[in-house]
Amino acid sequence: MRPVLIRGLTAAAAASLVAGVGVFAATSASAAAGCRVDYSANQWSNGFTANVTVTNLGDPISTGWNVTWAFPGNQQVTQGWSASIAQSGANVTATNPSWSPSIGTNGSATFGFNGSYSGTNTAPSSFKLNGTACTGAPVTSSPTATSSPTSSPTSSPTASPTTSPTSSPTSSPTTSPGVRVDNPYAGAKGYVNPEWKAKADAEPGGSRVSNNPTAVWLDRIAAIEGTSDSSSNGSMGLADHLDTALAQGAGYIQLVIYDLPGRDCSALSSNGELGPNELPRYKSEYIDPIAAIEGNAKYKNLRIINIVEIDSLPNIVTNTGGQAGATAMCDTMKANDGYVQGVGYALNKLGALSNSYNYVDAAHHGWIGWDSNFGPVADIMLKAAQQSGSVNNVTGFITNTANYSALQEPYIQPTTTVGGQNIRQSKWLDWNQYSDELTFAQAFRTKLVSIGFNSNIGMLIDTSRNGWGGSARPTKASTSTDVNTYVNESRIDRRFHAGNWCNQAGAGLGERPKAAPAAGIDAYVWVKPPGESDGSSSLIPNDEGKGFDQMCDPTYTGNARNGNSMSGALPGAPISGAWFSAQFQQLMANAYPAL
């Protein structure tokens, strides 16, 4: 069973954690012969979020560890995760959670906390691991100042998109991946798919981003063994990718598990090869072979991250039973319980592997941000996890997969009022409780924990195409007193409608892959490889089961699901997953942070 870790605490619990507790003394914990600490912080006016990674450069520690330091100012820890944190005056001690007492030689442990301060927020100058000073390579860093009109000490701020990431899975030192960790992205180098890299490198300027880790999509049975055609999957199979990851010295690899029966019941461009009643085939010909390959002993030290079934479970809530987005296929998949049983089976088989980490797709704020969807989608996630035999088979959830929702909307939070009117009533927000992906992901995580998921679950956010940079990006709030005008002039997301999802014109690369960027967030990731099409602009016959969806046609004037808005799709797009050069060039041109 996966151990339970308190990643986030209520205000009352946080107060109990730090109030009146002295510094823990190093008792019988193993001695450390050397160490280094990476400390980074993102701050706002009177608060900050810090992430700490300690690397053991000495003998293995097996009976417990603690990291101690002294704040140079008046900083106070208010909330911690991945360690028990106590403070007395300026002195702080972070002690290992009960389930993780060991740090191997050259292994690492990562934890984080929120804090408050006034005046200056200078980073600690020195740290100790089990009483031994960490004097490895220079590792401490001053906090990175951030500025966001909507940030507050309780909103778990992240680094401002205007700053470069302070830590990236592509450059972090690889730890000991074979030991199960709370956050598989922390301290580990990500796998760079050589097939995607070759396509990116072939584009002018593509080498600027081609070394970022992206996910490998196993979107049909043939992708497991590999193909010899010219499709998006190229010729590499699952074992080929895993072997290449070992050769790269990667600490983790990301795989998209994506071939449910009746897949993507509310769309056509990404329909799959299996019919709605082919669950036995999904199990025996798709999941079982994947689990067998991932379970090969030679991959035991590789963290295998499975992104489980994009756009499946939320469809059962939002696109069934006569709702505006209902389809006959979604009704069928709800009736036969195929999505829940299929996801449950995948979680069970893949969750049994000691080095696997399962993240279930949880749509995005523009899909399930309304109260009528938010709770029911969380409930069906729990049902699928229980179908697997245990919620411990779920490491976390991912939002915004292959989508375009802005990471942060500094000027149009749902609490904003204009001319005495709340902007939730605007046509863009349409009474949604959320306006950006970070706020939504953190809130959805809290909801999932409250209904029965482990308190150590983490969230991923796909930032591969949600940057929305370029000249169209607002730099300040509108001065209009009309709700709709204010929102449309102030929003970072420049789509016609938040429900538009296919090859969006004007989109840009978002935050680069980055581990532990904010409270409750395991990583920003590029699960949808930039440059791979969402679907064809017109019907293109193919043998991959991928149809034509009008939402990918730039001339389409919309439907009830997108408020009868234009699709906003780019012209000339190939089938989903195929390389789309024009899109890739646009994403680089509109990247935010800029390249």
Q: Is 541 within the bounds of a domain? A: no
Give a yes or no: residue 150 inside a domain.
no
Report the alpha-carbon distance of residue 398 to residue 155 in Å, rounded. 19
Most confident of 231-245, 318-332, 496-510: 496-510
- The residue among 115, 145, 175 that closes a domain is 145
Predicted confidence band at 149 (pLDDT cuts at 50, 70, 90)? Answer: very low
For residue 113, the model assigns a pLDDT of: 86
Residues 212 and 140 in one domain: no
**Domain match, 136 and 201 both:** no
- The size of the chain, in residues, is 595
pLDDT digits (tens, 9 = 90+) for 202-254: 999 999 999 999 999 999 999 999 876 544 444 799 999 999 999 999 999 99
Q: Is residue 163 part of a domain?
A: no
Residue 189 lies in a domain: no
Which is nearest to 255 in space by CA: 190, 341, 339?
Answer: 190
- Beta-bridged to residue 95, according to DSSP, are 66, 84
Q: Confidence class of residue 31 from pLDDT cuts 50, 70 and 90?
A: very low
* Catalytic residue check, 331: no
- What's the CA angle centered on 147, arms 144 and 151, to 5 degrees? 110
Q: Which pLDDT score, from 0 to 100, does residue 170 have?
A: 37
Domain co-membership, 127 together with 202:
no
Binding residues: 217, 219, 364, 367, 403, 501, 528, 532
Residues 106/175, Cβ–Cβ less than 8 Å: yes
- Give the Cα separation of 586 and 552 in Å (integer): 16
The catalytic residue among 259, 436, 462, 534 is 534
Q: Are residues 507 and 400 in the same domain?
A: yes
| Residue 401 contacts residue 528 (beta carbons within 8 Å) | yes
Which residue from 161, 120, 162, 127 is spatially nearest to 142, judged by alpha carbons? 120
What is the mean pLDDT of the segment spanning 293-301?
A: 94
Residues comprising the binding site for substrate?
217, 219, 364, 367, 403, 501, 528, 532
Residues 100 and 246 in one domain: no
- Nearest alpha-carbon partner for 107 in 30, 190, 187: 187
139 and 199 both lie in a single domain? no
- The reply to whether 141 and 198 lie within a common domain is no
Residue of 38, 264, 493, 549 marked catalytic: 264
Q: Quick check: is 557 in a domain?
A: no
Same domain, yes or no: 141 and 202: no
1 by Cβ neighbours in 10 Å (0-12 / 13-18 / 19+) ranks as: exposed
Summarize pLDDT for 393-423 with one digit per residue, the tens.
999 999 999 999 999 999 999 999 999 999 9
Identify the bridge partners of residue 461 per DSSP, sorted by sequence position. 399, 524
In angstroms, the CA 461 to CA 522 distance is: 9
Assigned domain for 62 exists? yes
Cis peptide before 554 (omega within 30 of 0): no
Give residue-wise pLDDT tens across range 255-281: 999 999 998 888 765 677 899 999 999
User: 205 and 347: one domain?
Assistant: yes
Number of domains in the chain: 2
* Whole-number Å distance between alpha carbons of 45 and 218: 45
Residue 219 contacts residue 565 (beta carbons within 8 Å): no
Report pLDDT digits (tens) over 504-523.
999 999 999 999 999 999 99
* Strand arrangement, sheet containing 84-88: 84-88, 91-95, 66-70, 127-129, 132-133
Our CA angle for 112, 455, 153, nearest 5°, is: 45
Same domain, 203 and 125: no
Q: What's the chain's Rg over C-alpha atoms?
A: 23
Final residue of a structural domain among 114, 145, 176: 145
For residue 167, tell me if it sits in a domain.
no
What's the domain range around 512? 194-410+431-472+502-533+577-589
Q: How far is it, in rounded angstroms, from Cα 462 to Cα 448? A: 19
**Active site residue: 182, 259, 311, 462, which one?**
311
| Res 269: pLDDT | 59
Residue 88 shares a structural domain with residue 232:
no
Q: Any idea what the CATH number is for the domain that residue 308 is in?
A: 3.20.20.40
Give yes or no: 264 in active site. Answer: yes
Q: Which CATH number does the domain housing residue 116 bear?
A: 2.60.40.290
| 286 plus 364 within the same structural domain | yes
Tens digit of each residue's pLDDT (9 = 90 or more) over 343-380: 999 999 999 999 999 999 999 999 999 999 999 999 99
In three-state secondary structure terms, 446 is helix
Domain assignment present for 307: yes
Which strands make up the sheet holding 458-462, listed edge to edge? Answer: 216-218, 252-257, 303-308, 356-361, 396-399, 458-462, 521-525, 514-518
N- to C-terminal Cα distance for the chain?
A: 42
Instruction: Mark whether 534 is an active-site residue.
Output: yes
